[in-house]
Structure formats: structure tokens, C-alpha cells
Amino acid sequence: MIKFNKKIIQAPLAGYSCAPFRKIAWQWGQPDFCYTEMLSAKNIYLKVPIKKRYFFRDPVEGPLCVQLAGNEAEILAFAAEKIIEWGADLIDLNCGCPVPKIRKKKYGSKLLADSKHLYKLIRAIKTVVKIPVLIKIRVDGLSRDQFNCEVAKAIEDAEADAVTVHGRHWTEGYEIPVSYQDIAEIKQTISIPVIGNGDVSDTFSAKKMFLQTGCDALMIARASVGQPWIFEQIHQELQGRTFTKPTLVEIGDIFLFHIKELTMLEGESSSLLQARKLAKYYARGQVDNDFLSQVVTIGSYQELQEIVKRFFII
């Protein structure tokens, strides 16, 4: 049984989710739990060497949900047992990924097309682990596929501990607004906790997700990049309390800390590439565009430090 505290979770984000990213979320926002990005159960089963980034858990992190992608019961059960050794507090089965190469392997959102098979996969995982098992799905959306209730019932019958619902069909991109109605329909169909996901970026949209869907908790993906305090901010503001955001100097320090931790995990060249990608999120709406053009030229952590100190000032 999952117990929510803040009722806000950090979503899996391939290319972003790793120990430094989660550590910062925990230090500044304390979501109920954070995710790894999607990991192939088959690669774990076949003992394909996995980069440290994908499985390393920092002792300073909060609760960790490890997300698996797979389609075979035996392989998922093996991987589920293995990731407990890595320190997983919760397990999630990805049933939402729309990427063609993932669907081609019959993983991700493809699992929504066969609820009987999905039931078997969840049972296989549930049989071997005692930690909570979550399922992350997408919805009918504008497709009229009519699978919401059938899939939700299969997940509940298989005794999954919660379901996260990203309120878009797998064919729908971010330009299509999230369907609160589909999430609400699932919430009304089952009695296990439903976590609402999609387009939550501030307290207004968080309130809307809770009110329009009746969800038990919500999950934030994109808006948490570069704003690790967002979980605490929404939590405080939903209770009518004032939240003071970190100062620009503090945000610059968080950015530098993020990159420093990535350097320790993966080495300097990889972390500098990620610094270029992350810079626009930390800078959003508050730092001059010159900052971004200078970040792409950096050749060392020290250079990054100098640029950040120049732009992130009060």
C-alpha cells in the first residue's frame, strides 16, 4: 500500500533522471519519490553492461522508483528482483512510451493494447517483490480506442499498488492538451491510487489536476527540470502558504552543484554536454540570453563556474 505525504512525485525523464537530478529534487523539493528513467528489463536479464548513471543511487536521495520496460513476464520478474538489490523502494512498469523503436519491441504504450497480457506481466512482478508496484499509462485521448476502463481494471485486478495516468494518447504530442476527463474516468473506475500526470507546471495547474480528476497525487516531469523546489512550492501554495523561491544566486549554485555531481558520476566531458542542455532550464525567465550563448562555448567546469557567477547575480 502506497502512502503519500506531499502527494507530488517527480516523473521519469530519459536523459535527465539520474542520481544528481533526484538528489537536488530531494534537497530542494522533497517529492514523495523520484524515478530512474526507463530501463530495459531484457538488458538487465542478459547482463548487458549498464552505465552507472542508470542504476546508481546516492545515499542522500529520497525514496526511489525504478522504472522498467519489458514485455515478457519471466524477464520482468528477474529484472524486478535485481533492481531491489540496487536499492529500489518502488517499481514501475512503463506502459506509456510512444517512441517507435520501443513500441516495435512491444514495450511501453504498446502494452495498453492487450490488457490480459498486461495483467500477467503485473502478476509476474507482484509475485516476486514485496515493494509497491506502479504502472504508468497513457489514455484513450482523442483516439476513441476505448481502453481506459479495461486497462485500469486489469491493473487493479493484478493488484498493482497505484497507476500513474499521463492524460494523452500515445499518438498525441505535448501540443494536445492533457485530458482531465480521461484521468477522471480511470479514477472513477478503480479504487487503487491514481496519480495524475500531464501539464502540471505550477500551483494553478496542480489544483486543476486535483479538482478535475479527483486524483490521489500528481506527477511532474518537464516543469521540475531546473526548478527542483517546485514540489515544495506547490505543496506550500496549495495550503495557502507563501513560498519564497531560491534567489538567483542560489539557483546558480544549484545548477553548478548539479553539474559538479554529474562530473563525479560520468566525467567532465559528459557533464559539460549536459550543462549545455540544462542551462536553459535553470536560466528560464530570469537570466539574459547571452548566458546561453556563452554556455555552449565552455570547455571546463571552471569556465562554467565563471560564467554562472557572472550571470546569476542579484
Q: Active-site residue numbers?
A: 97
Helices 301-311 and 268-283 cross at an angle (nearest 10°) of: 10
The residue whose Cβ lies closest to ligand FMN is 221
Q: Does 19 bind ligand FMN (CB under 6 A)?
A: no
In the bound state with ligand FMN, the residue whose beta carbon lies nearer, of 258 and 294, is 258
The strand pair at 90-95 and 64-69 is best described as parallel
CB under 6 A: which stretch of 5-13, 51-59, 245-253, 262-270 binds ligand FMN?
A: 5-13
Rounded (to 5) percent helix, strand, coil in the chain: 50, 10, 40
- The DSSP output letter for 167 is S
Q: Determine contact, residues 169/145, Cβ cutoff 8 Å.
A: yes
Q: Does 197 bind ligand FMN (CB under 6 A)?
A: yes
In the bound state with ligand FMN, the residue whose beta carbon lies nearer, of 67 and 271, is 67
In the bound state with ligand FMN, the residue whose beta carbon lies nearer, of 13 and 160, is 13
* Cell numbers 512482478: residue: 125
In the bound state with ligand FMN, the residue whose beta carbon lies nearer, of 221 and 279, is 221
Instruction: Select from 14, 46, 211, 264 the one that contacts ligand FMN (CB under 6 A).
Output: 14
Binders of ligand FMN among residues 155 to 194 (CB under 6 A) are 166
Q: Does 12 bind ligand FMN (CB under 6 A)?
A: yes
| C-alpha cell belonging to residue 185 | 474516468
Return d(Cα 230, Cα 103) in angstroms, integer: 32
CB of 300 to ligand FMN, least distance (A): 27
In the bound state with ligand FMN, the residue whose beta carbon lies nearer, of 181 and 305, is 181
Instruction: Select from 7, 42, 82, 136 the one that contacts ligand FMN (CB under 6 A).
Output: 136
Q: Does 22 bind ligand FMN (CB under 6 A)?
A: no
Q: Does 30 bind ligand FMN (CB under 6 A)?
A: no
In sign, the C-alpha dihedral spanning 134, 135, 139, 145 is: negative
DSSP 97-144: ---HHHHHTT-GGGGGG-HHHHHHHHHHHHHH--S-EEEEE---GGG-
Binders of ligand FMN among residues 37 to 66 (CB under 6 A) are 37-38
CA end-to-end span of the chain, whole Å? Answer: 46
Q: Does 94 bind ligand FMN (CB under 6 A)?
A: yes
Q: Residue numbers of the site for ligand FMN (CB under 6 A)?
A: 11-15, 37-38, 67, 94, 96-97, 136, 166, 197-200, 220-223
